[in-house]
Amino acid sequence: MAVQQLASLILSDDERAELTSLTMRRKTAQALALRARIVLTCAEGGQNTEVAAKLGLDRQTVGKWRRRFVERRVAGLHDEPRSGAPRTINDARIEAVIVRTLESCPENATHWSSRDVAKTSGLSVSTVQRIWRAFGLQPHRMETFKLSTDPNFVAKVRDVVGLYVSPPEHAIVLCVDEKSQIQALDRSQPMLPIRPGQPARRSHDYTRHGTTSLFAALDIATGRVIGKCFGRHRAAEFRKFLDEIEAAVPRELDVHLVMDNYVTHKTPLIRRWLAKRPRWHVHLTPTSSSWLNQVERFLALLTDKKIRRGLYRSVAALRADITSFIERHNADPKPFRWTKSADGILASIERFCRYNAPQNNTRCCELLVQDTRWRTTAPFFCSTNA
């Protein structure tokens, strides 16, 4: 079958600048920003199928906006007039609402409400809400983030991800961390069970019967977990947990330990213990990067499925429940499948930094955006015996 000849798509400098601006401006409609990205990607060359795969779209969508741009240039990317009643709110008033929402605050609040914007703009509350929905604005919401400022961030990401995607032979890779100060809580009144139309309920107050700390090691190949609870989480307890791992892992296997920079992991006691065992290799995750440690996912499952809603009248009951959860997990373990490459992670963080640098020029952004040496496909391993 003959291959359809694609229309030639060549951008002028002004068009490229305008399209790039549309993809970067926060007040650009998401649909328009996507169309601009399609055109910019098409201008780099390649068939519609290749562009669609790169952007996660279907071939017909890419073809539509390629044709529209070739026929009408940038103006063709905007929505065409629709039938029905004429608009009563022009683009200038819509832009004013967006700019006010993004770039200012009311006098007596930290963020805008739809009623406040309606009062200052002369629009109805429902109109403001429709504008916000169209542009994906949710001023009432606040999420958290934390960027690592570790000067060895790139090297550590490559090291840890390299272990996940290409683990060494004749070795076991264990992700280790602790969940400290787990509280044995009992509610002041019995919980009310779930009913049709009503969620389960519990009293807001509780009695605390003590705490325990769980040390856990996840085998990335099998999904099995070695876990043990201790009354405290000092270096002494961590060393005892390492003894548990040492006894559980066959002697002929090397041990690659992925863990964070917590102070109990690098005391003289732990350093001496590791120095006496040459088959042990430590791989530290970057600071503020717990998402890179796979055992965190297991600890989150433990919290969601057991601890958060559990009722415990003693620390012994809490420990027994944790031990039971680990045993049931190990009876039918499922390893987590790591899918993102080191390059993919670093590219995502670079995009985040470039997008947010004008508003929040953090140290991590400076390190990653300025240092382009991470753009390589060469493997990077930096095992450390320490």
In this predicted model, what pLDDT tens digit does every residue of 145-165 receive, in sequence order? 888 888 899 999 999 999 999
Residue 60 to residue 75: CA distance in whole angstroms? 20
Q: Same structural domain for residues 180 and 64? A: no
66 and 167 assigned to the same domain: no
Are 183 and 315 contained in the same domain? Answer: yes
Region 65-79: mean pLDDT is 81
Residue numbers of the domain that contains 70: 13-77
H or E element that contains 180? strand 171-187
What is the model's pLDDT at position 173? 95
Determine which of 42-46, 125-129, 240-244, 360-364 has the lowest per-residue pLDDT on average: 360-364
Looking at the structure, tell me whether residues 237 and 306 fall in a common domain. Answer: yes
On average, the pLDDT of the chain sits at: 85
Ramachandran quadrant class, 352 (left: phi over 0; alpha: psi -120 to 50; beta: rest): alpha
What's the number of domains the chain is made of? Answer: 3
User: Is 40 domain-assigned?
Assistant: yes
Domain-located, residue 102: yes
Is residue 47 located within the same domain as residue 168?
no
Pair (254, 313) in one structural domain = yes
Residue 354 lies in a domain: no
Beta partners for 178? 215
